[in-house]
Amino acid sequence: MDRVLSMSRCLVCGVDTPSFLSFGRMPIANGFLEAKDFEREHFFNLDVGFCPACKMVQLTELVERERMFHESYAFFSSTSQRMQTHFKAFAESVRTRYLADVSDPFVVEIGSNDGIMLQNFKGWGVRHLGVEPSANVAAVAQGKGIRTVSSFFDDELAQKILADDGQVSAFMGANVMCHIPYMHAVMSGIKRLLAPRGVLVFEDPYLGDIVEKTSYDQIYDEHAFYFSVGSVEDLVARHELELIDVEAQPVHGGSMRYTIAHRGARPVSPAVEKQRERERELGLERAETYARFRQNVERSRTDLVALLTELKRAGKRVAAYGATSKSTTVTTYCSIGPDLISYISDTTPIKQGKFSPGAHIPVVPHAHFAADRPDYTLLFAWNHAQEILDKERAYREAGGRFILYVPNVHVV
Ligand code: DWN
Ligand code: SAH
Ligand code: ZN
């Protein structure tokens, strides 16, 4: 029998939801901080559960949204060149598939960050609005002339948008829907605003990839949900909406893009049933799958700690690359501190000169890494491996090695 670590009500259907994995006390994933604030650092229990009724995988304890999304949010989407290309293609596909026959289309992006996606619609002269609560990243988008309101999206804001701009031809969201625990307020706002043939297109890290690759570091405070085709279908059906298409995306370690329309408004692609079938094979609807996932997570931790400890014993210099949100789960759960990793290189100015949450590993500019050339570099931004390995060819040719831990611990 699996130990029930904690219990909460499913955020979607209200049924008692036991957690299947507890990471223990965890700080705010993007809470990079100065030494003077160590004493005041906020912690919560990072526990993840599986709803036996609607099959939604979710956090069983939540952090208040204002602690995570505010005027000094640390993640700026445009730091990755590859993601810029990805979002250009995302925008192009929405435009050609769903806006071509709409006169004067209006698009809304939820969680538009620094404008990485909407800049494309702005360039095409399409009426748009970004909804982005983190004021500092919203300001970057506004600076590029992208129309952005700095608020959280919910039913109330939806009513205001309807009054100001009218119905929405396409709603978009990337790596944001899974951040919003009050999903019913979001879906009812979207239902109210969506034009009769309008669509909601969103993508998030895919539960199937997380389970298959043991990429447990996708689990942190901001990610309230770990979506699957089955759970998303159930969620949207509660709002008379329908999942009409799904498409796997290679970003963020494996994501799924979901397209949703008013029920009966558009044909449903065979891709939906195909993916449902795949999910049955993967066992995403069965509690045993998550018990096995937990064992894989524990093994991953054992292997990573063993490698880092061995490198230290051998006198190797080890640093890390990419002060990701994900790395907060890894460093905290594996107790990896400055004794094992001397610093984390990151190109984001707001993170530099600060310390990582919980583990308090110094975050340094890339120039420091380039000059220091550690023997080994733990790649916390493993989801950008291709982009980073290409960029760091000189380091690797000089003998530098990267350590990856997804899908298992290995050195390249
Ligand atoms: O869901 C989320 C995703 C979209 O972004 C958010 N909740 C928060 C954030 O998650 P993350 O911090 O795990 O995202 P990334 O994209 O894995 O972060 C990469 C980090 O690495 C950034 O801090 C930028 C940095 N970086 C770098 O220093 N050099 C990235 C690249 C590509 C580089 O070459
Ligand atoms: N879409 C971007 C940013 C993802 S990070 C990308 O894929 O790179 C998640 C973003 O969602 C943050 O910028 C955060 O401020 C925003 N966010 C969080 N909760 C939100 C909510 N309720 N409504 C709108 N945006 C939200
Ligand atoms: Zn449920």
Distance from residue 282's CA to the centre of ligand 3 (Å): 19
If you average pLDDT over residues 228-255, what whole number do you get? 98
At 246 the pLDDT is: 99
Which residue CA neighbors atom 3 of ligand 1 most closely?
175
- Closest-approaching ligand to the CA atom of 133: 2
Sign of the torsion formed by the C-alpha atoms of 69, 54, 198 and 209: positive
296 CA to middle of ligand 1, Å? 24
Q: Which CATH class is domain 289-411?
A: alpha beta
Q: Say if residue 219's pLDDT is above 50.
A: yes
The closest of 325, 249, 322, 257 to 79, measured between CA atoms, is: 322
Contact of 345 with 380, CB cutoff 8 Å = no
Measure the CA–CA gap between 299 and 297, rounded to whole angstroms. Answer: 5
Nearest ligand to residue 116 Cα: 2
Q: What is the spatial distance between Cα 173 and Cα 136, in angstroms, rounded to a whole number? A: 19
Q: What length does the chain have?
A: 412
CB 261 within 8 A of CB 197: yes
Beta bridge partners, 174, equal 203
**Residue 388 Cβ contacting ligand 1 at under 6 Å:** yes
- The pLDDT tens digits of the residues spanning 376-411 come to 999 999 999 999 999 999 999 999 999 999 999 999
Mean of the pLDDT values across residues 95-119? 98
Distance set, CA 103 to CA 65, 99, 228, 270, 410 (Å): 37, 8, 34, 29, 52
* Cross-sheet strand order for the sheet of 57-59: 7-9, 16-27, 43-50, 57-59, 225-226
Q: Which amino acid appears at position 321 of this protein?
A: Y
Closest atom of ligand 2 relative to the 138 alpha carbon: 13
Rounded distance between C-alpha atoms, residue 194 and residue 76, angstroms: 28
Q: Is 183 helix (H, G, I), strand (E, B) or coil?
A: helix
**Contact, 57 vs 48, CB < 8 A?**
yes
Instruction: Read off the pTM.
Output: 0.97
Which pLDDT score, from 0 to 100, does residue 7 have? Answer: 83
SS3 307: helix
Rg of the chain over Cα atoms, rounded to whole angstroms, equals 21
**Mode of pairing for the β-strands spanning 344-345 and 57-59:** unpaired
Q: Ligand 2 centroid vs 310 CA: distance in angstroms? A: 39
For the chain, the domains span: 77-282, 289-411
Q: Is the CB of 384 under 6 A from ligand 1?
A: yes
Domains 77-282 and 289-411 share a fold: yes
The average confidence (pLDDT) of the chain is: 97
Residue with tokens 């002269």: 125
DSSP 8-state secondary structure symbol assigned to residue 384: G
Whose tokens are 């049955």? That residue is 280
Q: Is 325 in the pocket of ligand 1 (CB under 6 A)?
A: yes
Question: What band does 9 get if pLDDT is binned at 50, 70 and 90?
Answer: very high
- Pick the residue whose CA is nearest to atom 13 on ligand 2: 113
- The pairing of beta strand 241-249 with beta strand 255-262: antiparallel
* Ligand 2 centroid – CA 175 distance (Å): 7
CA distance 118 to 134: 16
Which atom in ligand 1 lies closest to the alpha carbon of residue 74? Answer: 23
Q: Is 371 in contact with 317 (CB distance < 8 Å)?
A: no
Of 68, 150, 179, 221, the residue with max ligand 2 atoms within 8 A of its CB, to mutate for a pocket test, comes to 179
Tell me what pLDDT residue 6 has. Answer: 77
Residue 402: its H or E element: strand 401-404
Distance 113 CA to ligand 2 centre (A): 6
pLDDT at 2: 44
Substitution candidate for ligand 2 out of 113, 225, 384 with most atoms within 8 A of CB: 113
Tell me the DSSP string of 15-39: -EEEEEEEEEEEE-TT--B-GGGGG
Residue 406 tokens, joined: 């997804």
Ligand 1 center to 347 CA (angstroms): 10
Q: Please list, in sequence order, all residues whose beta carbon lies within 8 angstroms of the beta carbon of residue 277, skipping any fewer than 6 positions away.
A: none
Residue nearest to atom 4 of ligand 1 (CA): 175
Nearest CA to ligand 2 atom 26: 111
Q: How remote is the CA of residue 360 from the centroid of ligand 3, in Å?
A: 36
Q: What is the pLDDT of residue 5?
A: 65
pLDDT tops 90 at residue 297: yes
Tokens of 160: 């205001």
The tens digit of pLDDT for each residue in 340-378 reads: 999 999 999 999 999 999 999 999 999 999 999 999 999
Q: Is 69 in the pocket of ligand 2 (CB under 6 A)?
A: yes
Alpha carbon of 384 to ligand 1 centroid (Å): 8
What is the pLDDT at residue 104? 97
**How far does residue 125's CA lie from ligand 1's centre (Å)?**
29
Task: Report the C-alpha gap between 250 and 93 in whole angstroms.
Answer: 16
Class of domain 77-282 (CATH, top level): alpha beta
- Nearest residue to 170 via CA among 101, 255, 273, 81: 101
CA-to-CA distance for 212 and 220, rounded, in angstroms? 18
Q: Which ligand is nearest to the CA of 139?
A: 2
Q: What is the pLDDT of residues 131-154, one digit of tens each?
A: 999 999 999 999 999 999 999 999
Instruction: Return the beta strands (E) in 55-164 as ranges.
Output: 57-59, 106-110, 127-131, 148-149
Residue nearest to atom 16 of ligand 2 (CA): 111
Residue 4, pLDDT score = 53
Measuring CA to CA, which residue among 91, 259, 133 is closest to residue 190?
259
Residue 133's CB: how many other CB atoms inside 10 A? 21
* Atom 15 of ligand 1: nearest residue by CA position: 324
